[in-house]
């Protein structure tokens, strides 16, 4: 009897060790983007952005998660990270290229360091309003630009909205061009933005978004430019006194996925990713527009002084940046620039 019990317990021990060995092997062969939970079948998307969890961009990311998890029946789960927890626009895009992160949603400006044609959207005063931007971005030329990301090991699934950018600073009210004189302005990491601000008379410095609040607080820079929603939700009013409706650039976001992760999905799953990125983008654009409409008032309620840029002053700004646009046309690609201008014209007919 004792012998039988010993034999049985030895068999049990061997069976348990074999089971442990198997799951260990599965976990290590799965690599990044997959999880051994759910019987080793589920894939995990790590999705990170620079803005905080109050911003419509994060709410859009949560919508993407909801759609993906529901449509894939939990076969793909999405972990969301905000406030630069995984890095800034540039480093997260690089992580997608390496396959160590699956999703990020950067502004097109830093993305132009990967695909120069995206700088077409850095042309100041390009889009007259959000509706025209939607038509161009969701239309032929916008989608052609997304295709170009593939050569960089990235998949562009849709455009979301960052929005029209407006200027804030801690020094003075900005109403006309002369008020830009010498202002130390943080710009996104993009050469066209830098040169455009130089042409306006400012003293620009490129910097990742994750460093911006501290730089404003410590006075390393006097000001920055972002849509009202970001200025309010990131609490820049705590360290900035003046806001002007410069509306100098419309910033799109691009919903990016790591190509190596995307290529490992089934055709059905790839379709779900595209649909979810488009659907969540529509939701994000709507929330973002509501936020930008209401937050200029909130900034004034928090004590910021609002200064309007007169139409004459805007004309002056348009003239000042014109040579910069000419200088960059070749670098962006004449064909892309022409196509975008034509699409904008068509969209307004
Ligand atoms: O999540 C997006 C942000 O990282 C960034 O793109 C915001 O407009 C932005 C900026 O000024 O860097």
230 - beta bridge partners?
Answer: none
Domain-located, residue 96: yes
The number of the ligand 1 atom at minimal distance from the alpha carbon of 109 is: 6
Three-class DSSP category at 347: helix
Contact 48, 85 (CB under 8 A): yes
Name every residue whose Cβ is closer than 8 Å to that of residue 289 and which is 6 or more positions away in sequence. 130, 161, 163
Contact 183, 173 (CB under 8 A): no
Tell me what pLDDT residue 195 has.
98
- Both tokens of residue 287? 């929330």
Domain-located, residue 89: yes
Ligand 1 contact, 188 CB (< 6 A): yes
Sign of CA dihedral 261, 263, 266, 267: positive
Domain-located, residue 229: yes
Residue 248's domain comprises: 42-347
Nearest CA to ligand 1 atom 3: 50
Ligand 1 contact, 258 CB (< 6 A): no
Tell me what pLDDT residue 56 has.
98
Ligand 1 contact, 50 CB (< 6 A): yes
Q: How far apart are CA 35 and CA 153, in angstroms?
A: 22
Tell me what pLDDT residue 12 has.
41
Number of domains in the chain: 1
Domain-located, residue 52: yes
* Under-70 pLDDT residues of the chain: 1-41
Gap from CA of 18 to ligand 1 centroid (Å):
49
CATH code for position 46: 3.40.190.170
Tell me what pLDDT residue 31 has.
36
Domain-located, residue 1: no
Tell me what pLDDT residue 283 has.
98
Domain-located, residue 8: no
Gap from CA of 152 to ligand 1 centroid (Å):
21
Ligand 1 contact, 106 CB (< 6 A): yes
Q: How far apart are CA 335 and CA 349, in angstroms?
A: 22
Nearest CA to ligand 1 atom 12: 209
The number of the ligand 1 atom at minimal distance from the alpha carbon of 209 is: 12
Of 47, 110, 163, 188, the one to substitute when testing ligand 1's pocket (max ligand atoms within 8 A of C-beta) is 188
Domain-located, residue 313: yes
Domain-located, residue 142: yes
Q: How far apart are CA 127 and CA 123, in angstroms?
A: 9
Q: What is the dihedral of CA 221, 223, 226, 232, to 10 degrees?
A: 110
Sign of CA dihedral 138, 144, 148, 154: positive
Gap from CA of 54 to ligand 1 centroid (Å):
14
Contact 136, 348 (CB under 8 A): no
């Amino acid at each position: 009897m004792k012998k039988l019990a010993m034999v049985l317990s030895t068999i049990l021990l061997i069976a348990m060790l074999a089971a442990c060995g198997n799951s260990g092997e599965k976990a290590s062969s799965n690599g990044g983007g997959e999880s051994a939970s759910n019987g080793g079948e589920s894939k995990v998307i790590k999705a990170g952005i620079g803005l905080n969890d109050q911003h419509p961009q994060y709410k859009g990311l949560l919508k993407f998660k909801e759609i993906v998890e529901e449509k894939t029946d939990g076969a793909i789960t999405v972990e969301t990270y905000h406030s630069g927890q995984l890095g800034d626009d540039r480093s997260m895009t690089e992580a997608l290229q390496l396959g160590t992160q699956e999703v990020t949603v950067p502004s097109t400006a830093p993305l132009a360091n990967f695909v120069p044609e995206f700088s077409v959207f850095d042309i100041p005063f390009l889009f007259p309003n959000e509706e025209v931007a939607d038509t161009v971005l969701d239309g032929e030329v916008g989608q052609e630009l997304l295709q170009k990301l593939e050569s960089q090991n990235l998949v562009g699934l849709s455009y979301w909205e960052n929005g029209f950018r407006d200027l804030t600073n801690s020094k003075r009210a900005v109403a006309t061009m002369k008020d830009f004189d010498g202002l130390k302005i943080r710009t996104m990491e993009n050469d066209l933005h830098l040169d455009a601000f130089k042409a306006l008379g400012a003293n620009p410095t490129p910097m990742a978004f994750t460093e911006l609040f501290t730089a404003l607080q410590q006075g390393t820079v006097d000001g920055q430019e972002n849509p009202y929603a970001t200025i309010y939700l990131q609490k820049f009013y705590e360290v900035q006194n003046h806001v002007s409706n410069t509306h100098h650039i419309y910033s799109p976001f691009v919903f990016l996925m790591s190509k190596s992760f995307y290529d490992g999905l089934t055709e059905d799953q790839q379709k779900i990713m595209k649909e979810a990125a488009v659907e969540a983008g529509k939701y994000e654009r709507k929330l973002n527009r509501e936020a930008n409409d209401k937050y200029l008032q909130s900034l004034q309620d928090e004590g910021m002084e609002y200064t309007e840029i007169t139409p004459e002053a805007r004309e002056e700004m348009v003239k000042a940046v014109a040579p910069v646009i000419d200088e960059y046309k070749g670098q962006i690609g004449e064909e892309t620039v022409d196509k975008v201008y034509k699409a904008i014209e068509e969209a307004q007919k």
